[in-house]
């Protein structure tokens, strides 16, 4: 059988890629066709996404793929980060430049929303973790600052849905990304229209919800002609990048909550796979989220600030004339004192500070800890703190599901960080399996392959991932230092709350 090729458009917070998934009937091989930078654009006092440039780069990638693989290409699908959106008029014109989720317009919006609809009621309806960057709170801010835009909007498209519209003209909301908005009814997979009306958000702009694997149609003729593609379908993968990554976790325990995933990148998303949303008073108290997955599953998880702390430290070091690779930073952190200074990665000061090292030092100063003074100590603080946060989340997930997590699967770019992988095993006292690095792209293209009949169940997708990937294992070491540090971190948390 000739190889069949599925194209994944994978857009992250720092970069975007067009990746070819080459399928020989047994194994999947990924080939990066085109990579391009991404990131926030500062405009006046706001932060936006340059989606037109991203779309131009996607088309460049499609053209390059056509030159390499031609008629072997079956379909294409996009995955992106969650929560951000594009507004379109009836004629398909964009209304404004889409906001970046780190824009400050949502500061204080959650408190105003809770005055209209209590926090507990919003959670009961949506089952989502409360973060000011959620689409719900972005829309409240949009209504407050630019009411005319929402009045003139005909359709709201989440980021991956916008790129599918650009490809083929579809106007739908794929379930997994829609489930990140806090605008969807948990368990029913429909928009929470009553909640939206209560918060003065127009419900008419929300499109039809479709499931991952839905065929959205052929490429627009104009796109196909420019790219040199013919007869290629557009298939919605799990369009939230974490949903694609979780679909490609190489577990042999599909349908069980005995394993946890950690999608490690700019954000760390840690959770378990469940069949029904967990919407209880304790889940609300722990501020966990229930996001959509493949085949009727839900991702019971916690969003954690993640390697953003290290990325922004690196940016600050470079601005001061000190250039490091990420491997250099791992080396510097390994040489720094262990578990000396700790922070809560999810403290709001770390969301988008002008200077991340100073933000970390400020937290340590306020909590009476040693202040990290070297680049290695700052990065070590971030790694230690993330591992301890993962430990806390593992405990919360076990409490909510009533079972024990036996193994942690780390996927994504962060799975290459052997130091943090070992810290995670040590802090959580669980074995860690790291890989694949390209879980998001693998999940994307394998769901497309399933839509064309090449692969069967979710369990079979994961079997293909195991056959196609090299995994690394990390066994837990001495728990003593981590137990003491976890107790110290809990005392810091209580001191800040008091």
Over residues 314-361, the pLDDT tens digits come to: 999 999 999 999 999 999 999 999 999 999 999 999 999 999 999 999
Q: What domain count does the chain have?
A: 2
Is residue 206 domain-shared with residue 274, that is, in the same domain? Answer: no
CATH number (domain holding residue 112)? 3.30.420.40
CA atoms within 13 A on the CB side of 249: 31
> Do residues 212 and 298 share a domain?
no
Q: What is the span of the domain harbouring residue 166?
A: 4-235
Q: Where are the alpha helices (DSSP H) in 36-180?
A: 51-69, 109-116, 119-126, 135-145, 147-152, 159-168, 175-178
Tell me how far apart the alpha carbons of residues 242 and 221 are, in angstroms, rounded to a whole number: 31
Whole-angstrom CA distances from 469 to 7, 19, 52 are: 19, 16, 34
**Which of 60, 114, 84, 133 shows the shortest CA–CA distance to 305?**
133
Q: Is residue 240 a part of any domain in this protein? A: no
Domain membership of residue 242 (yes or no) is no
Residue pair 369/398 in contact by the 8 Å Cβ criterion:
no
Among 147-151, 220-224, 385-389, whose mean pLDDT is lowest?
147-151
Closest CA to 78 of 181, 177, 161, 175: 161
Domain membership of residue 35 (yes or no) is yes
For residue 374, being part of any structural domain is answered with yes
pLDDT tens digits for 223-260?
999 999 999 999 999 999 999 999 999 999 887 779 99
- Which residues are designated catalytic? 241
Pairing outcome for strands 155-158 and 85-88: antiparallel
The verdict on 78 and 211 lying in the same domain is yes
Asked if 427 contacts 421 with a C-beta cutoff of 8 angstroms, the reply is no
> What is the C-alpha separation between 311 and 295, in angstroms, rounded?
34
Quick one: 374 and 487 in the same domain?
yes
Nearest to 85 by CA among 170, 210, 181: 181
Residue among 93, 164, 179 nearest 134 (CA): 179
Q: pLDDT tens for residues 78-131?
A: 999 999 999 999 999 999 999 999 999 999 999 999 999 999 999 999 999 999
Residue linked to tokens 């990924």: 30
Predicted confidence at residue 1, as pLDDT, reads 57
406 lies in a domain?
Answer: yes
If asked whether residues 265 and 383 sit together in one domain, one would say: yes
Supply the pTM of this predicted model.
0.94
Q: Are 372 and 361 in contact (CB under 8 A)?
A: yes
- pLDDT of 498 reads 64
Tokens of 381: 């603080």
């Amino acid at each position: 059988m000739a190889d069949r090729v599925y194209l994944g458009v994978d857009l992250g917070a720092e970069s975007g890629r067009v990746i070819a998934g080459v399928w020989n009937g047994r194994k999947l091989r990924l080939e990066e066709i085109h990579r391009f930078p991404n990131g926030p654009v500062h405009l006046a006092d706001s932060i936006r996404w340059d989606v037109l440039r991203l779309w131009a780069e996607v088309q460049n990638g499609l053209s390059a793929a056509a030159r390499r693989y031609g008629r072997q290409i079956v379909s294409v699908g996009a995955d992106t980060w969650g929560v951000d959106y594009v507004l379109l008029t009836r004629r398909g014109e964009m209304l404004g430049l889409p906001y970046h989720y780190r824009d400050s317009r949502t500061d204080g919006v959650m408190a105003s929303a809770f005055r209209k609809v209590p926090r507990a009621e919003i959670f009961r309806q949506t089952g989502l973790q409360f973060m000011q960057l959620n689409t719900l709170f972005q829309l409240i801010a949009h209504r407050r600052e630019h009411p005319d835009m929402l009045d003139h909007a005909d359709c709201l498209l989440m980021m991956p849905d916008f790129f599918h519209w650009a490809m083929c003209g579809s106007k739908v909301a794929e379930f997994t990304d829609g489930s990140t908005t806090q605008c969807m009814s948990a368990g029913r997979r429909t928009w929470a229209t009553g909640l939206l009306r209560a918060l003065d958000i127009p419900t008419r702009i929300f499109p039809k919800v479709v499931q991952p694997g839905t065929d959205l149609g052929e490429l627009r003729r104009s796109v196909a002609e420019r790219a040199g593609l013919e007869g290629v379908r557009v298939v919605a993968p799990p369009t939230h990048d974490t949903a694609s990554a979780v679909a490609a976790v190489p577990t042999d325990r599909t349908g069980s909550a005995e394993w946890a995933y950690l999608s490690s990148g700019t954000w760390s998303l840690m959770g378990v796979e469940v069949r029904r949303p967990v919407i209880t008073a304790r889940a609300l108290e722990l501020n966990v989220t229930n996001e959509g997955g493949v085949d009727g599953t839900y991702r019971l998880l916690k969003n954690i600030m993640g390697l953003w702390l290290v990325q922004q430290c690196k940016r600050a070091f470079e601005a001061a004339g000190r250039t490091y690779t990420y491997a250099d930073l791992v080396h510097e952190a390994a040489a720094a004192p262990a578990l000396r200074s700790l922070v809560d990665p999810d403290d709001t000061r770390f969301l988008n500070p002008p200077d991340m090292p100073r933000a970390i030092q400020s937290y340590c100063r306020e909590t009476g800890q040693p202040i990290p003074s070297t680049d290695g100590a700052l990065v070590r603080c971030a790694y230690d703190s993330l591992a301890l946060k993962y430990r806390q989340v593992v405990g919360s997930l076990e409490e909510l599901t009533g079972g024990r997590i036996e193994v942690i699967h780390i996927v994504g770019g962060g799975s290459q960080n052997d130091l943090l992988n070992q810290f995670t095993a040590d802090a959580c006292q669980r074995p860690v399996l790291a890989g694949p690095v390209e879980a998001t792209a693998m999940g994307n293209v394998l769901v497309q392959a399933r839509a064309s009949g090449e692969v069967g169940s979710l369990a079979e997708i994961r079997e293909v991932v195991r056959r196609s990937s090299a995994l690394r294992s990390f066994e837990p070491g001495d728990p003593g230092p981590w137990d003491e540090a976890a107790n110290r971190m809990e005392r810091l948390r209580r001191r800040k709350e008091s």
